[in-house]
Structure 1
Amino acid sequence: MPSRRPGGRQRSRRSHRRKAEERDWADGLPMDALLAILGRLDHIDVLMAAELVSRSWRRAARDEPTLWRRITMRGHEGIATKLNRCGMACEAVRRSARRCEAFCGEFAGDDGFLIYLSEQAPCLKSLRLISCDGVTDVGLIEAVKELTLLEELEISLCDNVGDSTEYETLGDVCPQLKHFIQRKSHFNVRDSNYAKDIRAIASMRGLRSVQLFGYPLDNEDLEIILDNCLNLESLDIRHCFNVEMDETLLAKCNRIKILKLPDDPTDDCDFQFGSPLRTYVARTWSCCSCCFFRHSDSDDDNDSDFYREPSRYEEDLDKYDRVLPYSMRTFLK
């Protein structure tokens, strides 16, 4: 007697069961593995998409403060105009439950956020601000007064930050500061508003690494830094074209392990930088219209995942607008 083929109802049940198994694979992951996966994402991706995958992913994204210990929020200016990135930054810090130790924000910070960060992240050790035009000297000074454990500070392309008073305050209230980075959007050979800045930076005697990218310091300014920051192990002065490396400076730099000079290549960079505002005729040099820079990892630990590539969520922004839960739609402008 011929065997009966499965009916349409049976085939439908099997297909439904297979689809259910495919959906549930994420829920079966142990929490350690799940946090390892989420930890490799930009935190904007976690906020806007990862928690939509399954219930376990949502619980991990919302209820696991360790996921938000080191927050990275990178992106591009065009997408930043469509998102309430300061609101997202506050939400990310809130989820850390006061355990946040590092924050890196690109187009994701203003004075209000910095005050909130200083209140909600008393253990913060690393603060990196990139293209945060909403941050001013006043807001930064008020915030760092509460961040006494700060060891690393980066200020890149923040046009409203850069007062010598700010640096003097840093030296007083952040005695553990070891790494200082400031990058200008354009090299300006005739900028004369930096002399006090150099002396204030040199007053941070505990610094182990300094990067002044595109900064208009000269030989005398560099000598001041070298003579005062005796623990310096890394110095990056690329695109500081006012510096002429003579025998005196080279001798002072012998003790520095990692040294990058004004004309050194920028092939290893991923940071956008504009062409000089004025041509320097006193010496010959060439500069492309834009170059890129990547900050090297701190040697204190192996948390290299903090310095991740920029988020790729931009390609799916329209998708987020359709599927984002109502409670998260406040982040869309």
Structure 2
Amino acid sequence: MLSYRRRHRRKPWRNWADLPTDPLLEILGRLDHIDVLMSADLVCRSWRQATRDEPSLWRRITMRGDKEIAAKLNLCAMAFEAVRRSEGQCEAFCGEYAGDDGLLLFLVKQAPCLKSLRLRSCDGITSEGLRDALKDLPLLEELELSLCYHVYDGHVYKIVANACPQLEHFRLSKLRFHYKNRMVDSEAQRIASMRGLRSLQLFSIALTNEVLATILDSCPKLESLDIRHCFNIKLDQVMLTKCARIKTVRLPGDPTDDYDFEAT
């Protein structure tokens, strides 16, 4: 009987409101910041205070949404609030369905030390807004523009090449491939001028062998190359030889199971 009681003894109830600050921030740091704004704020007074008074929690902001969430919530307004709570300490921002030109300009003012900017399905962002923002983000090391259809490719390459001298990771992704929208030599030269690149993803972009060769010859530090769904590329011996020096290569016909979006 005693052993039964020991095995089935109730565990003591834990008051999560009394959790010390460091473990609490560790827990909150594992959540998407949409969840922090929507739920953690409402748990109790101490949690609400931590989410509002601890800017370190907002140093790396991640706001991942989808069409359904975006239809129900004002994700852009929530992104403004997340950046405001960082109190100038934000070093990385990832927004999905959560960004427009106004947010970019606010981010620039509030996060001058931003090193990573990842924008996904942010139709409110334009080429002009991106240009105005990036010129004031000289420390940027990572940039992603995925499915942002009001930011046009040719403008992107020029803007990024001129404004981001420390860029190491660049990702530009489209939903589907179009044979006719070929990247021209001038655009290739813009990417080629990003000589510090360590990773490059151009998904569903109409590259040619000549354009890709120019980029590879000009970016000696490149360690990761993803050109899936770039179906203009011909994998001849010359191109395969150029790609051989790169540690990780994803070729046009490679599987897209791990791609973050639905490839078509």
Give the TM-score, by structure 2 length.
Answer: 0.92
Rounded Cα–Cα distance in structure 2 between residues aligned with 1:232 and 1:219? 17
State the match for 1:27 in structure 2.
Answer: 17
Q: Which string of whole-angstrom CA distances, capped at 9 and with x for unpartnered residues, describes residues 10-33 of structure 1?
A: xxxxxxxxxxx95x6111211111
Q: CA deviation at 1:173?
A: 2.2
Rounded Cα–Cα distance in structure 2 between residues aligned with 1:184 and 1:163? 10
Give runs of aligned pairs for residues 83-232 of structure 1, distance below 5 A.
83-192=73-182, 195-232=185-222
Secondary structure at the aligned position of 2:202 is classed as: strand
- Are the aligned partners of 1:26 and 1:56 in contact in 2 as well (CA < 8 Å)? no
State the match for 1:318 in structure 2.
Answer: none
**Which fold has the larger relative contact order, with Cα–Cα distance below 8 Å and residues 6 or more apart in sequence?**
1
Indicate whether 1:73 and 2:63 are aligned: yes
Give runs of aligned pairs for residues 259-274 of structure 1, distance below 5 A.
259-273=249-263
Cα RMSD, aligned residues only:
1.5
Distance 1:236 1:192, change over 3 A: closer
Give the TM-score, by structure 1 length.
Answer: 0.73
Q: CA deviation at 1:193?
A: 5.7
- Are the aligned partners of 2:184 and 2:211 in contact in 1 as well (CA < 8 Å)? no
The runs of 5 or more residues in structure 2 that have no matched partner are 1-11
Rounded Cα–Cα distance in structure 2 between residues aligned with 1:112 and 1:270? 26
Indicate whether 1:49 and 2:39 are aligned: yes
Rounded Cα–Cα distance in structure 2 between residues aligned with 1:156 and 1:169? 16
Bigger Cα Rg = 1
Distance 1:167 1:270, change over 3 A: closer
The runs of 5 or more residues in structure 1 that have no matched partner are 1-20, 276-333
Rounded Cα–Cα distance in structure 1 between residues aligned with 2:161 and 2:177? 25
The one-letter amino acid of 2:100's match is D
Rounded Cα–Cα distance in structure 1 between residues aligned with 2:187 and 2:151? 12
Among the aligned pairs, what percent are the same residue? 60
- Are the aligned partners of 1:164 and 1:200 in contact in 2 as well (CA < 8 Å)? no
Q: CA deviation at 1:163?
A: 4.0
- Are the aligned partners of 1:71 and 1:104 in contact in 2 as well (CA < 8 Å)? yes
Q: CA deviation at 1:58?
A: 0.5
The one-letter amino acid of 1:210's match is L
Rounded Cα–Cα distance in structure 1 between residues aligned with 2:77 and 2:106? 11
- Are the aligned partners of 1:234 and 1:257 in contact in 2 as well (CA < 8 Å)? yes
Rounded Cα–Cα distance in structure 2 between residues aligned with 1:87 and 1:242? 40
Q: CA deviation at 1:169?
A: 2.8
- Are the aligned partners of 1:101 and 1:126 in contact in 2 as well (CA < 8 Å)? yes
Secondary structure at the aligned position of 2:244 is classed as: helix
The one-letter amino acid of 2:199's match is S
Rounded Cα–Cα distance in structure 1 between residues aligned with 2:211 and 2:153? 16
